[in-house]
A and B are shown apart, each in its own frame.
Chain A
Amino acid sequence: MADEARKKEIYEKLRTGVIQYDEDACREGAQEAVSEGLDANEAIFDGLVSGMEEVGRLFEAQEYFVPEILMCADALYAGLDILKPHCKQMDLGVKGSVVIGTVEGDVHDIGKNLVKMMFDVAGFTVYDLGRDVPLDKFVDEQLKTDSELVCLSAMMTTSMVGMPKVIEKIKAKNPNCMIMIGGAPTSKELADKWGADGYAEDASNALKEAIKMVAFLKKLRDEKIQKK
């Protein structure tokens, strides 16, 4: 097991690898994290994702443009591909199925993919609709798969306005389905206002919230069955 300083060094390598869009450095850092027995989840979020946050800052400061951001995203995925299989399968007592996607008009899917990954390692069945997903597709997919949970992601103020429409439609057809929203421009307040059941600011909290919701739903169902 690597000591604290070595761990820091590896996370820093992953972080700068993303910032300097150096795919090889990300692959190398990820490999080191794996072979030295570091926690894969931590390496992803404290290394790769923390780098992407800095990239967002550089983009806002107009030091980076679209090509750089895309190359940074490629570097992030290069590390993620190696780390993902090593994310510990968690047994959290509850499992469910979830429909997830980035809403229409929005192609940002890095955050959504991380949230999806957390559901994967927790043993949920995930129906990933991808990005720029037509609003009705969420409604259809939920009905088709009878998933307990629908997760909506948006990274733009212009696209997040599609969220309340999806929420309304799903709730009209299936009031028991739980809906969670996320992505940088969203908030707890917006989730409440739009009638969503949950909001989380990052991927691990998204999972915690989801488990609470699914557990609650299952309890409701059990009670109903017992009464019959």
Chain B
Amino acid sequence: MDADPLKQFLQAEGATLVGVGDVRRALSQEIMHLGRGIAIAVNRGLTRDTVDLLMRLQALTEGWLRAKGYRSLSIPPDSDRRMGKMISKLYKLFCHKTAATCAGLGWIGKNGLLINERYGSKMTWATVLTDAPLATDRPYVSSRCGDCDLCVRHCPSGAVQGHLWSLGDPMREIVSYDKCRSLKSGRTSLREKPNCGFCVTVCPYSRNGGEQQKAG
């Protein structure tokens, strides 16, 4: 089933990137029948407006699929903050970065974030899972960070360890979230911003509005 009409439709509605991945290897039993992940990204930070835009794009995707007789499940962009509903219990079963790598939209950098070749790690992601047999894009199977280690050197908490991601080794801890978190909680008491984010800004892929290619 051709995915291009859906991609063009979503891009016309404001999506920056849309890809389709075969995500079966990452699914738990409850959602095993939803073998395709549609990864949708917009080139903006995680704000209320971004969330609203992404959720609108998800609703449009669901409608598009439903009209063709297929099932879908939307995992909202801020899925970790959505609680209290029955369906929200399923959200933690699936991670947006998985859909994005499977859909060929990037790899997991040494900074643990999804790196898109063009936009770096400044994107915000949402996923729609579906049982529609959409044609899939070619997945990323390994890191393209190479010898670069800017984020390792600049991380003030020593959380970024410098490991290279590969699809074959998904359980490896790339960033020590405890260390990263300890820095953030220490900072809230001062007047500094609680979020650090050096690992995003230092990455050559993320710089200059994301349009520039990798430095050196």
Contacts and interface: CB of A to CB of B under 8 A. Distances in A.
Interface of A: 65-68, 70-71, 73-74, 77
A211 B205 CA distance: 69
Chain A contact residues: helix, strand, loop or mixed: helix
Interface of B: 30-31, 33-34, 71, 73, 85-87, 89-90
17 contacts: A65-B33, A66-B30, A66-B31, A66-B90, A67-B30, A67-B31, A67-B34, A67-B71, A67-B73, A67-B87, A67-B90, A68-B71, A70-B86, A70-B90, A74-B85, A74-B87, A77-B86
A71 B89 CA distance: 11
Contacts of B73: 67
Nearest to A73: B86
Contacts of B87: 67, 70-71, 74
A84 to B, nearest CB: 16
A66 B89 CA distance: 11
Contacts, number: 26
Contact of A70 (B33, B34, B71, B89): B89
Contacts of A65: 30-31, 33, 71
Nearest to B30: A66
Chain B contact residues: helix, strand, loop or mixed: loop
B24 to A, nearest CB: 15
A66 B31 CA distance: 7
Listed residue (B34, B86, B90) with the most chain A CB atoms within 10 angstroms of its CB: B86
Contacts of A66: 30-31, 90
A74 B88 CA distance: 10
A23 to B, nearest CB: 9
Contacts of B85: 74
A157 to B, nearest CB: 20
A56 to B, nearest CB: 15
A212 to B, nearest CB: 34
Contacts of B89: 70
Contacts of A68: 71
A32 B71 CA distance: 30
Contacts of B34: 67
Nearest to B34: A67
